């Protein structure tokens, strides 16, 4: 089916202007096809679909309360629906592959991959959000390296991130409340979880060789790599040497400076912008984006934050909306190696979100040229 989205202001070539956008055969078209259906975008913005390079809100669908799980297939179906309602047309699901049992363990990893692939197969008509796997490999999870290498070789992994949360987990285990939360998430007793954490940490000397193997495989497969929570420029340089060219959630501004000086994308969370700062007390993403230190905003743990963050940045007066929108669309697409999306231009994938600029809310989401989601109040705009 072909579409003509007309009457709105479209983001084209870095500027908003009153121009229609045609979609045909899954892509943005130069001209409207004969018999195309019409979407009345009067009073609305027509923007490139959001590209989320890192989001783990799907975990809340899988385990809405600690220790209370639901089938991954159901969780992924609900996640896909929520993503479309948030205007996200490409979602790189941050799936943590940890030594922990339960939600972030190897069994959940396998089930999540299977659920995503099954949903992707059901959405073969192009009407679904493009779900991809962003593997967040925990440094001390050495037992899964061979399996992960196989998944990477099979094309099941779109992004590979190097995570290292074991030391901080061990420190927090002295807090009974935090220890209980970790144990509940893993579905084990606190004492058992503590033993697992200590056993994982005991093999730390093996981590560099394992990370080198994973990095070599990612380079060979053309999988972009990220380093997560870099604390120092030296840490960033170490992952850069492995080929991890994306700096994700730097702990401090000097790390972001070092990454940008090397020409690397820097990712921070859109919730940080919306809430006015990091919930961990780290760097504030909005001023860093305005300085050019942050080039990508990801949903992190809350999908609606991406669209809202772009409008928040535009409202601050330093970046206009087209520049702010690049942080949630064109820039993440480029970093993820997805040259076919992130902008509205003939020949690119037909991923478009129509937005009410007053309510700062999606009205319709088109994925691969098909109407994938429509707000109830917008039904009369479809002709």
> pLDDT per residue over 198-215, tens digit each?
999 999 999 999 999 999
What would the two tokens of residue 57 be?
């809100």
Residue from 309, 303, 315 nearest 373 by CA? 303
Over range 48-55, report the average pLDDT.
98
Give me the CATH number covering residue 18. 2.30.40.10
99 and 6 in one domain? no
Based on the fold, state whether residues 243 and 314 are members of the same structural domain.
yes
List the structure tokens of 275: 């809430």
What number is the average pLDDT over the span 52-63? Answer: 96
In this structure, what CATH number is given to the domain that contains residue 301? 3.20.20.140
Instruction: Write the Ramachandran bin of 63: left for phi over 0, alpha for psi from -120 to 50, otherwise beta.
Output: beta
Q: How does the average pLDDT of the chain come out, rounded?
A: 95
Give burial (CB, 10 Å; 0-12/13-18/19+) of 313.
Answer: buried
Which pLDDT value is given to residue 121? 77
* Whether residue 108 is found in the same domain as residue 207: yes
Do 379 and 235 fall within a single domain? no
If DSSP codes are grouped into helix, strand and coil, which group holds residue 101?
A: coil
Give the least confident one: 35-49, 121-135, 250-264: 121-135
| Spacing of C-alpha 67 from chain mean position | 25
Q: Provide the b/e sequence for 243-260 (b: ≥16 CB within 10 Å).
A: ebbbbbbbbebebbbbbb
Q: Count how many domains the chain has.
A: 2
Contact between 148 and 156 (Cβ < 8 Å): no
Token look-up 């820039």 returns 331
Q: What pLDDT is recorded for position 261?
A: 98
Query: Are residue 19 and residue 156 in the same domain, yes or no?
Result: no
Instruction: Using pLDDT thresholds of 50, 70 and 90, give the confidence band for residue 39.
Output: very high
**Angle of CA points 212, 214, 216, to nearest 5°:** 70
Closest CA relative to residue 283, chosen from 275, 270, 272: 272
pLDDT > 90: what percent of the chain? 93
200 & 107 share domain: yes
Query: Which residue segment(s) compose the domain that 351 sits in?
Result: 1-49+341-383
Residue 372 in tokens: 């994938």
**Beta strands 159-163 and 225-228, pairing class:** parallel
Q: What are the two backbone dihedrals, phi and then psi, of residue 39, each rounded to the nearest 5 degrees?
A: -115, 120
Token representation of residue 285: 């993403």
Can you name the residues that pair with 352 across neighbouring β-strands? 48, 366
Q: Which residues contact 280 (CB under 8 A, 6 or more apart)?
A: none
Q: Which residues contact 127 (CB under 8 A, 6 or more apart)?
A: 367, 368, 370, 371, 372
Specify the pLDDT at position 283.
73
For the ranges 116-125, 253-262, 279-288, the maximum mean pLDDT occurs at 253-262
* φ, ψ at 104 (rounded to 5°): -115, 20
Do residues 42 and 59 share a domain? no
Residues 20 and 79 grouped into a single domain: no
pLDDT of residue 66: 83
- 321-331 per-position pLDDT tens digit: 999 999 999 99
Residue 359 makes CB contacts below 8 A (sequence gap 6+) with none
Spatial distance between the Cα atoms of 281 and 379, rounded to a whole number of angstroms:
43
3-class secondary structure, 138: strand
| CA atoms of 381 and 383, how far apart (whole Å) | 6
Predicted confidence at residue 125, as pLDDT, reads 44
170 with 183, same domain: the answer is yes
- DSSP assignment of 220-260, as one string? HHT--EEEES--SHHHHHHHHHHT--EEES-SSHHHHHHHH
* Rg of the chain in Å (alpha carbons): 21
List helix spans (H) across the chain.
Answer: 58-62, 72-85, 106-122, 145-153, 166-172, 176-186, 190-201, 207-221, 233-242, 253-261, 270-275, 285-290, 305-316, 321-326, 330-335
Query: The whole model's pTM is what?
Result: 0.96
Q: At 120, is the pLDDT very low, low, confident or very high (cuts 50, 70, 90)?
A: confident
Q: What pLDDT sits at residue 151?
A: 98
Together in a domain, 332 and 352:
no
**pLDDT tier at 127, thresholds 50, 70, 90:** low
298 with 365, same domain: the answer is: no
- Give per-residue pLDDT as tens, 240-252: 999 999 999 999 9
132 touches 157 (CB < 8 A): no
End-to-end Cα separation, the chain, in angstroms: 13
Are 103 and 33 part of one and the same domain? no
Rounded distance between C-alpha atoms, residue 225 and residue 368, angstroms: 26
pLDDT of residue 124: 47
Report the distance separating Cα 27 and Cα 174, nearest Å.
54
């Amino acid at each position: 089916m072909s579409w003509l989205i007309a009457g709105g202001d479209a983001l084209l070539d870095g500027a908003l202007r009153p121009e229609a956008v045609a979609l045909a055969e899954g892509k943005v078209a130069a001209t409207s096809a004969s018999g195309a259906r019409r979407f009345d975008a009067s009073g609305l913005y027509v923007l490139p679909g959001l590209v989320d390079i890192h989001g783990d809100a799907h975990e809340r669908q899988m385990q809405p309360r600690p220790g209370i799980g639901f089938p991954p297939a159901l969780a992924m179906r609900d996640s896909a629906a929520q993503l479309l309602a948030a205007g996200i047309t490409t979602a790189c699901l941050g799936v943590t592959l940890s030594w922990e049992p339960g939600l972030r363990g190897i069994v959940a990893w396998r089930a999540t991959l299977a659920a995503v692939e099954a949903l992707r197969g059901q959405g073969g008509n192009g009407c679904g959000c493009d779900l991809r796997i962003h593997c967040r490999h925990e440094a001390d999870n050495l037992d899964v390296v061979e399996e992960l290498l196989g998944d990477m070789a099979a094309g099941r992994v779109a992004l590979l991130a190097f995570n290292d949360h074991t030391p901080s987990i061990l420190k927090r285990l002295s807090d009974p409340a935090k220890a209980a939360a970790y144990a509940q998430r893993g579905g084990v007793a606190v004492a058992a979880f503590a033993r697992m954490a200590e056993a994982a940490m005991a093999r730390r000397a093996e981590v560099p060789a394992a990370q080198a193997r994973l990095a070599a495989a990612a380079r060979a497969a053309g999988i972009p790599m990220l380093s997560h929570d870099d604390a120092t420029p030296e840490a960033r340089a170490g992952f850069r040497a492995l080929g991890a060219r994306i700096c994700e959630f730097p702990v401090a501004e000097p790390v972001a400076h070092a990454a940008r000086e090397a020409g690397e994308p820097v990712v921070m969370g859109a919730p940080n912008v919306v809430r006015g700062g990091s919930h961990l007390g780290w760097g504030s993403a909005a001023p860093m984006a305005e300085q050019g230190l942050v080039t990508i905003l990801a949903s992190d743990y809350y999908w609606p934050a991406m669209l809202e963050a772009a409008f928040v940045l535009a409202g601050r007066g330093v970046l206009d909306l087209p520049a702010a929108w690049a942080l949630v669309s064109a820039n993440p697409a480029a970093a993820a190696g997805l040259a076919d999306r992130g902008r509205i231009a003939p020949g690119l994938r037909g991923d478009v979100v129509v937005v009410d600029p007053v309510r700062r809310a999606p009205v319709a989401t088109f994925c691969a040229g098909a109407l994938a989601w429509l707000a109830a109040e917008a039904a009369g705009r479809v002709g």
